Structure 1
């Protein structure tokens, strides 16, 4: 699996798209008028008459932490991310009137405008957002359980973002507020769902090591930042995954990690240097 710059689009299966007949005979017209489920982000005309918020609603604004990365566990052949992938787990999503950003190197959404989508059930929305190809030996529409989402199938009122620039991965992304402190989203219309928890002022900083035993300026700096602590946990998770897949020969990987730690520690108190170093190390480890 390659780096995190690649994305998995909902409309990844060309066999779901059929050419429309030009004949207007009764039989073909009937076929033409049958309901046809397509990913929700391809319905811009349907949304045009719906409510539009000039900026993200206040109940969406704030800082959110990714606490689960959910993927269709019955469709592993199309994964670009794993369940709870370290490249996304622990990242922070910031939503404000001026922008939407996730600290995973994705392109920010500037001047976001959010449109309300039709009220529906959570199960129906997730299923129709990520259809499988017809030749799969599984139902066309995945379930919440298929995604490992332990959520009730409640009525939901999704929002969809329009961004400047159009190239932002957040353009056409959807948001579902499940409760004041729980949010679902899917940037870039990709085949994963992010479960997020609103960050409270009392949220503790939790790197992968005990802060009272920090031994370097870099570790002490990590212990002052939620963002850096999240990256640190991701490095540790990605390293453990790489060890598990390395087989019997782990010596070179362990030596690489020691060498990288020395490079990271050279950042000292430079937060940007630390963030860049850890983000790049996660990507390297996930490609092992």
Structure 2
């Protein structure tokens, strides 16, 4: 069996930053460090950090007053920020800088007298955080039909922003519908869409040209991982989402000469290796990596952690 790994795949810069914030906080302040919600949508990442001393909480009230507390990569509402200040929590904000950029765009549009329309998935943590960061009503649309149902006059000055884990392809039709509906509309350039989302989805489309089946490594509650599986299926190739090798169904790859593997932006490379090991238990495997974009973006850490360098671990150097 030939295995082709998508390039790029797995962790993006925002996820790497979020995980590093928790790890450095544990090194600097000691356990426990409280993390509001899952730092990223991946069980293996969460369990690894929990083993090191991170405590994941649903509400800030679960953290003692003054405790070191990390906000997840998805972002939070201003109400959560206010509650943290009232309780004297030492906050380390792991919100992805690209999500923060969307928050700033939305606030600027409101300041300029425009109604804000958010393209995103209802209930997603990033969407909830974004809607809670912007003053006034934020109109959420998920489909082109939602655009037609907006309670706004055609000449209303409007603006749109998007959930970062949506790609240009996913938002193109909705943006076109918005432009047809409203005569006075502004929005960010398509280059402001999350680079990692776009790159990973493009890589899956290329993978679909070469693979008999596509395996997407990621969590069931990861929006970007689910979309990668959907895109694989859209190329006409059977595509499956699995968290690790234990979830591999041998029937998925039976008779497949070429298996393509990618991973969502919150899935660690160790889980990709675990899936490859599961395939090897079925038959001999030859692994190759598809040509693709090499990502070298790195986001700045919070100021409290920039000068702090963790102690080298036994048998290796600090990262």
Q: TM-score range by the shorter chain?
A: under 0.3
TM-score of the superposition, structure 1-length normalised?
0.21
Question: Comparing both chains, which one has the higher relative contact order based on Cα–Cα distances under 8 Å and sequence gaps of 6 or more?
Answer: 2
TM-score of the superposition, structure 2-length normalised?
0.20
